[in-house]
Chains A and B, each alone.
Chain A
Amino acid sequence: MATLEKTGLPAHPAKPYVPPIVGPGHTAGTVTDKIADVILRKNTPKWWLLGFAAAFSLLMVFLTAVTWLFVKGVGIWGVNWPIGWGFAIINFVWWIGIGHAGTLISAILLLFRQEWRTSINRFAEAMTLFAVACAGMFPVLHLGRPWLFYWLLPYPNTMTLWPQFRSPLIWDVFAVTTYATVSAMFWFVGLVPDLATMRDRAKNKAAKLLYGMGALGWRGSARHWHNYETAYLLLAGLSTPLVLSVHTVVSFDFSIGIVPGWHATIFPPYFVAGAIYAGFAMVLLLAIPLRVGFGWKDFITDRHLENMGKVMLGTGLIVFYGYIIELFFSWYSANTYETFMARNRVFGPYWAFWWALIFCNGFTPQLLWFRRIRTSPLWLFLISLVVSVGMWLERFVIVVTSLTRDFLPSSWGLYKGTIWDWATFFGTLGLFSTLFFLFIRILPAISIFEMRTMVPGGEAGDEITEVV
């Protein structure tokens, strides 16, 4: 200590300034009003109507594409030998990856006591649910006979057949259905106290009744909160390994196979990082317009955006590392097929996809090193768009370049999606955004009761104001 005093440096350097989670001047009451009133007001904002119209039109594209698929069969898609896995699996992995950020925010950041998550966890969880719904479309649609999808599940049947539990595809069924169920329950449990708030505030009789049914008669009793908090924490603890397992299992779909470029041990961690990376990009794409539209800059502050930018930078670096190490392993393995696959990826017929991928996911996120860019909503929005495209390209490169060039040149071929492939993909964007627009119009998109703890007078709020 003495030497430190001699240097003239303060023994306890001042804490760095941390901007507050909630803008100044808010109380439990104002937070409640501000979040609930955007839903309970009579006239719907114009931006919502326009956005919903656009989203709904895209949803109609999806319905058209699916109807034609049911009429003609999967032949309308570009899949054929040797590329039996095309857009369906690319889009499935893309969507399910996006979903991961919601669970990461709601569960993992909760366990790590990252209180800033409170402003974004509700709509990020909704995003997870809708993304998983979009993801689920593809495996079911590509079955050829989608009405028999339940054959994937184990149930006693007259054919006395059972699913092959040694197959990663069945693991996938278990992982994804569990993930969808647990995410939906986690989301609903978080909503119950807020639905009670909506019930108590709604003037319209029908709204009061519907919110009241959802609230299950919640009355904020201390005994209830006591069990509620324990259950919520346990759910967070259960969701954490679950979310890591889901994309791990998705990566098993590839890495358990022996196709060059798929059979790699790095796949699980690299897939999980990619999922979180893509998911945060989507959260930013939703959060930035949402905070403008509803005037919620007090709740989704620049600090939130910056933190999300940091998560994107971190996971983006892991993903970039994955790309480099894939190339390294293909060289280090000294395996003819692996080496050829790597060269084919970089210089083969799909070279443009690979280089675009490196641009989107390798170089673009490096911009996030700059604080200026991390705190600029416009830059973050643009980077998130580029990253979303990049993550789609990543799955395209993994699926297509490996399948088009496997062991025997006699089974080589090329692949491209047809207009129906694209229509189905853009259609799910419509499904996703339609659901999201409906969600922000009828349910509180920010967790009200958790925000009440963030203001002065709340449990966490007092600590936070001290830090500030």
Chain B
Amino acid sequence: MSSLRDPRPPIYGLMAEFPSADALIAAAHQVHEAGFQKVDAYTPFPIEAVSEALDLPRSKMPIIVLIGGLLGGLGGYMLQFWSQVIRYPMNIGGRPVHSWPAFIVPTFECTILGASLAAVVGMILINGLPLPYHPVFNVPRFALASRDRFFLVIEAIDPKFDPDATRSFLAGLNASEVSEVDH
């Protein structure tokens, strides 16, 4: 009954395991060329060549960090301007209340703080984390993705996905193992 109600395909996708980064990079190129869209690679350390092979779009992080930094800096300066010039002006020997050189240090620190917060919170959220559950963890050998093994997953919702054809395609890419990923 549940299969009638569940609109999802019967499995999450197919996972291929590779013993080395080079094998994964070569496989990622072929998978991308074969026209698969819903593909992701899992590696124990960052590999630029994999992102290139999968043709990932440019990261949005720089613009997020820029906005964070601008907001932090502007906010810091406005805070000082408002509190020292408007809300609580102090006349000390007739010196100008808008003493901007003295405001540089807190403005700088607020810029860095805003940009760093944007970088960290932005990176976590843009990656869809924190995420308590993900289907890839259903494959027991996937625990090695955080040690020294390299994985590639083609999701079943990919328009070109076909349970048997995709499986033999992955097996032909020098994968040491191909396994089904349950939901």
* Residue ranges of A at the interface with B (Cβ–Cβ < 8 Å): 27-29, 32, 154, 160-166, 168, 170-171, 174-175, 178, 181-182, 185-186, 188-189, 193, 196-197, 199-201, 216-231, 234-235, 238-239, 241-242, 245, 249, 252, 449-450, 452-453, 457-459
The reply to whether B148 and A171 contact each other, CB–CB distance below 8 Å, is no
Determine the chain A residues whose CB is within 8 A of the CB of B54 once the complex forms. Answer: 222
Determine the chain B residues whose CB is within 8 A of the CB of A185 once the complex forms. Answer: 116-117, 119-120
Are A225 and B21 CB-contacts (below 8 A) given A165-B106, A174-B109? no
A186-B32 Cα distance, complex, nearest whole Å: 33
B102 interface residue per 8 A CB criterion: yes
The reply to whether B112 and A238 contact each other, CB–CB distance below 8 Å, is yes
Residue of A nearest to B101 (CB): A166
Shortest CB-to-CB span from A285 to chain B, Å, is 28
Residue of B nearest to A188 (CB): B120
The reply to whether B119 and A238 contact each other, CB–CB distance below 8 Å, is yes
B42 in complex: contacting residue of A174, A217, A222, A230, CB < 8 Å: A222
The stretch that binds A, out of B2-10, B123-131, B161-169, is B123-131
A166-B108 Cα distance, complex, nearest whole Å: 14
B146 in complex: contacting residue of A196, A231, A457, CB < 8 Å: A196
Residue of A nearest to B60 (CB): A227
Interface size on B, residues (CB 8 A): 64
Determine the chain B residues whose CB is within 8 A of the CB of A171 once the complex forms. Answer: 105-106, 109
The reply to whether A165 and B80 contact each other, CB–CB distance below 8 Å, is yes
Determine the chain A residues whose CB is within 8 A of the CB of B40 once the complex forms. Answer: 221-223
Shortest CB-to-CB span from A149 to chain B, Å, is 17
- Residues of B50-85 contacting chain A, CB below 8 A: 50-51, 54, 56, 59-62, 65, 69, 79-80, 83-84
Determine the chain B residues whose CB is within 8 A of the CB of A178 once the complex forms. Answer: 109-110, 112-113
The reply to whether B45 and A223 contact each other, CB–CB distance below 8 Å, is no
Shortest CB-to-CB span from A301 to chain B, Å, is 20
A234 in complex: contacting residue of B62, B129, B147, CB < 8 Å: B62
The reply to whether A189 and B120 contact each other, CB–CB distance below 8 Å, is yes
A450-B60 Cα distance, complex, nearest whole Å: 23
The reply to whether A234 and B43 contact each other, CB–CB distance below 8 Å, is no
Shortest CB-to-CB span from A151 to chain B, Å, is 14
Contacts A32-B146, A182-B116, A449-B46 known; 6 new A-B pairs at CB < 8 A: A160-B88, A162-B87, A165-B84, A175-B105, A218-B146, A220-B42
The reply to whether B112 and A165 contact each other, CB–CB distance below 8 Å, is no
B132 interface residue per 8 A CB criterion: yes
Residue of B nearest to A454 (CB): B45
Shortest CB-to-CB span from B143 to chain A, Å, is 4
